Structure 1
Amino acid sequence: MKQIFAYESVEDHNRYEEITKQLMNSLTSYEKLLMEKFSLNEKPKGIVWTTKELATTVFSNVPIPAFTNRDLIYISPDLKEWKELFINQLAGRNLPHISEYYQSINFKEILTILGHELTHHIDLFVDDFDDDRDEAIWFEEGMCEFLPRKFMLSDEEFDKITNIEQQLVETFKNQYGNHSLEEFGAMSYEGSLTSIMYDYWRSFLAVKKLVEEAGGNVLKVFERYHEWHQSGRGVTLTEFFNIDL
């Protein structure tokens, strides 16, 4: 993958040069894993390193500075800005232990986000970037959260972020939990940062549950997902998996 630097100043490039090198080097083993086990047959052409401002106002209007399309991954490598985003998603709630967690995150958090965007490119997902379908987006987004966390984090780190997001779902359930996971789609991004992230938390936890029910075998979960698709999608994927979060 090519590296493309989209900054407004040389100072920005210099400021992020070291962390982008670290991220690219650390992504290599995960990229290899996806190629060997999860059908990453065609990688994106490149990664566009940019700032949060450019990512969310010029390249996109979504308030999250990481996204992908068929050809390119766009992401901000600014750890400070990611910390601020994660604190902002708490919407002023008094959650000191969660706030402390997000204040202490390191480059591995950005690495798993980068891994999330790369995971969108595996061919195990049945819908392509150009498809108009908006069904079962929760499954793809949840799996893109699950896989990099599972394979890039230690067991302790994985359990910690799982517990954090379980607590966040419980915290915001009364406010944002009155819709099905099946509604995760384009309309999701028109809400607040917290409402957007709420569906990511739920999707990750749903996929984690499916993997656990499959005895830890991620490919078995994909096999069931393909069964749903090949059978004509007669019911929603949440109904097919009998999952409710």
Structure 2
Amino acid sequence: MKHIYAFEKIEEYTKYQSIIERFNKKLKEYQHILEKNYALSEMPKAIMWTSEELATTVLSNIPIPAYTNKDIIYMSPDLLAWRQLFIKQLDGKSLPHIEKFYENYSENHLLTILAHELTHHSDLFMDEFEDDRGDSIWFEEGMCQYLPRKHLLTEEEFEEITDVETKLVEVFKEKYGLRSLDKFGSSSYEGTLSSIMYDYWCSYLAVKFLVEVRANNDIELVFHEYQKWHKEGRKVPLTEFFGLN
């Protein structure tokens, strides 16, 4: 996998060089986990490391500076910019505990965002990036949140991010809660940041419930049922197939 650096000034690359190197080392370790346990057989062609501004205004208009476009992962290593972005998603609501969490959002948590993008390349998912991916995207996105967090975070970090996102769902469910998980991304990237992120929070929590409660931590069983739903022709929405409200 190639590493491409797209910064406007050499000083920017120098500023982020150390965190990029740490991420590359840890991502290789996570890559081995995916290859061994989660059917990662083909790597993306490259990671393009860039600034938050370039990622969201020049290379794409996606407001989140981590995404995959075909075979290339685009990622901003700017931890400060990520902290500011996550505070912005609160829509100005007074949530001191959550604000404090995001003000101190860690490098380890940021690593899981990069790992999220790599997880998309697992062959266990039935949809391709160029597909419409209309009726099961929540499962893939939720699993791409869950797996990196489960493997890369400490137990305390895992519980903390879960608690934060559970509370955020509670805070925003009156505004966005009538939208089905099967409609993940229905507002695409044109909605507010909180609207976009609400789908991710709910999808992560749904997948966590399926794995840890419904399947008693048997993640292979969850993937098996998901693939069964696909092979049988997707006759009902995936949420209905899994019996989720």
TM-score, normalised to structure 2, is 0.97
Name the residue aligned to 1:97: 97
Gaps of 5+ in 1: none
Cα distance in 2 for residues equivalent to 1:237 and 1:143? 14
Give the superposition deviation at 1:132.
2.6
Deviation at 1:186, TM superposition (A): 5.5
Q: Answer whether contact 1:39 1:123 (CA < 8 A) is retained.
A: yes
Q: What does residue range 30-49 of structure 1 map to in structure 2 within 5 Å?
A: 30-49=30-49
Report how far residue 130 of structure 1 moved: 1.8
Percent of residue pairs bearing the same amino acid type: 55
Partner residue, 2:234: 233
- The residue aligned with 1:6 is 6
Q: What residue is the counterpart of 2:111 in the other structure? A: 111
Q: CA RMSD in A?
A: 0.9
Matched residue, 1:62:
62
Partners of 2:99 and 2:183 in 1: CA distance:
28
Which residue matches 1:123? 123
1:242 aligns with 2:240: no
Structure 1 ranges of 4+ moved more than 4 A: none
- Once the two structures are superposed, residues 158-215 of structure 1 have per-residue CA deviations (whole angstroms, 9 ceiling, x without a partner) of 0110010000000011111121011113533210001000110000000000001111
Letter of the structure 2 residue corresponding to residue 65 of structure 1: P
Secondary structure in 2 matching 1:188: coil
CA–CA separation in structure 1 for the residues paired with 2:133 and 2:38:
22
Q: Check whether the contact 2:187–2:196 (CA below 8 A) recurs between aligned residues.
A: no
Q: Which residue of 2 aligns with 1:154?
A: 154
Change (3 A) 1:48 1:186: farther
| SS of equivalent to 2:70 | coil
| TM-score w.r.t. length of structure 1 | 0.97
Q: Secondary structure at the match of 1:67?
A: strand
Unmatched runs of 5 consecutive residues or more in structure 2:
none
Q: d(CA) in 1 for partners of 2:182 and 2:42?
A: 28
In 2, Cα distance between the equivalents of 1:71 and 1:188?
A: 21
For the pair 1:193 / 2:193, whether they are aligned, the reply is: yes
Task: Report the count of equivalent residues.
Answer: 244
